[in-house]
Structure 1
Amino acid sequence: MTGRIIAIGDIHGCHAEFSELLQRLELQPEDQLILVGDLVNRGPDSCKVIDLAREHRAISLLGNHELRLLNYRKSNDTAFLKESDEDTYRKLRPEDWLYLEQMPLTHYVEALNTVFVHGGFLPDEPWQKQPASVVTRIQVIDSEGRPRKRADAEDSPPWADLWNGPPFVVYGHTPRPEPYKLKWSVGIDTACAMGGHLTAYILPEKRFVQVKARRKYYP
């Protein structure tokens, strides 16, 4: 491993912030960019985000927002779609759908014993075998050990609080005002689309670089 590994949290269509962050990172040819899912929806231009990801040879992981769009496209079942998804769905080009279809669930870097994922993992099962329905959506773990959304199980602990590694996990999905740093994980969704920041986490130096959202794009 010669270059840096740079993970970026949920971009959600915020192409201007993504572009500014890329400039600040001063990417070198040997660097590897990893986007931890939810490139699309909510912000102003999902297509421009995908273009930038392509241009910089990013490894883009599957998030719950990409999964929702893909499920709707396969099934035409509107149960998969939220109102805020419809605009993205109409604008995505054939090459964008191809890009979404090829997104892996996880990316593991052996040299750092670190795995990148959108949502997270259940702590008592092998991480490699957990399905998209878990790893793109988990935020907390309820009293019966089930993966849940924060809003649906408010008193339940974040999955990361129960994760004792290895591997170390870098993830997004759960928006917070600051990166959520624990011994065996770091959450880097800092709510850019909601007026927060877009965060990059740089390895092996374990440094954060952030840009402030230009405005609040999503309530």
Structure 2
Amino acid sequence: MTGRLIAVGDIHGCHQEFADLLAQLELTRDDRLVLLGDLINRGPDSNRVIDLARAHAALPLLGNHELRFLAFRRTRDPKYLRNGDRETLDRLRPSDWSYLESMVLTHHEPELNTVFVHGGFLPDQPWAKQPASVVTRIQVIDDGRPAKRSEAPGAPFWADLWNGPPFVVYGHTSRPEVYKLKWSVCLDTACVMGGALTALIFPEKRFLQVRARRRYYP
């Protein structure tokens, strides 16, 4: 593998922190950038995040926020919207929608024995065959079913049951610190909530973080 492979956790519209992180990374043309979904929404400027991602030829993965926005655009069903979504929706440009539609569910690096995804996987099924409704949303496993941690507070996190291979790099389940296990690592360190934006740099598996400038979302 020439150059570095760099994965970045949930950005959620935090364009200044994303720009700060990119500046510290000092990307070369041999480097590759994978964004783990939820580039948009909640934070101050989703459009500028998309512009930065495009400018650096990033590979964006589909997050649950992009999935909801695309479902709403397709159906106009308000069940897909949450508080605060309208502000982001109203600002998305045609090119932004095209970018959201280009997002892929997973990225596999066989050489690193690693898969990148937004949310995670059910551990008892082939990872490559799991649908968007699972891999963008799963946090815990409640009686064999994927669920959000708020829906099943006592249920185990999917990553605690994942024994690999492959190694999984994911976001979605925000925590104050990187959550690293033998076969997985979560890079969502809650930037939009005043935490940090985290990158994982391969092949050395080194972490790089920038602190949020402030709390943007309660």
TM bin (shorter chain) = over 0.9
Mapped pair 1:94 → 2:94: yes
Q: Distance in 2 between matches of 1:170 and 1:198?
A: 15
Counterpart for residue 3 of structure 1:
3
Counterpart for residue 149 of structure 1:
148
Mapped pair 1:46 → 2:46: yes
Pairing of 1:66-215 with structure 2 (within 5 A): 66-142=66-142, 144-215=143-214
3-state SS of the aligned residue for 1:164?
coil
3-state SS of the aligned residue for 2:84?
helix
Query: CA RMSD, aligned part only?
Result: 0.5
* C-alpha distance after superposition, 1:34-83 (max 9, x if no partner): 00000000000000000000000000000000000000000000000112
Question: What residue ranges of structure 1 are gaps of 5+ in the alignment?
Answer: none
Question: What residue ranges of structure 2 are gaps of 5+ in the alignment?
Answer: none
Q: Distance in 1 between matches of 2:38 and 2:16?
A: 16
* C-alpha distance after superposition, 1:85-143 (max 9, x if no partner): 1111100000000000010000001110100000000000000000000000000011x
Q: Distance in 2 between matches of 1:92 and 1:109?
A: 31
3-state SS of the aligned residue for 1:52?
helix
Q: Residue 206 of structure 1: CA displacement?
A: 0.7
3-state SS of the aligned residue for 2:180?
strand
Counterpart for residue 22 of structure 1:
22
3-state SS of the aligned residue for 2:99?
helix
3-state SS of the aligned residue for 1:72?
helix
Structure 1 residue ranges (4+ consecutive) displaced by more than 6 angstroms after TM superposition: none
Query: What is the letter of the counterpart of residue 47 of structure 2?
Result: C
Deviates more, 1:81-90 or 1:42-51: 81-90
Query: What is the letter of the counterpart of residue 129 of structure 2?
Result: K
Percent of aligned positions that are identical? 70
Query: What is the letter of the counterpart of residue 78 of structure 1?
Result: P
How many equivalent pairs are there? 218
Q: Distance in 2 between matches of 1:77 and 1:7?
A: 33
3-state SS of the aligned residue for 1:181?
strand
Q: Distance in 1 between matches of 2:111 and 2:85?
A: 37
Q: Distance in 2 between matches of 1:213 and 1:84?
A: 20
3-state SS of the aligned residue for 2:150?
helix
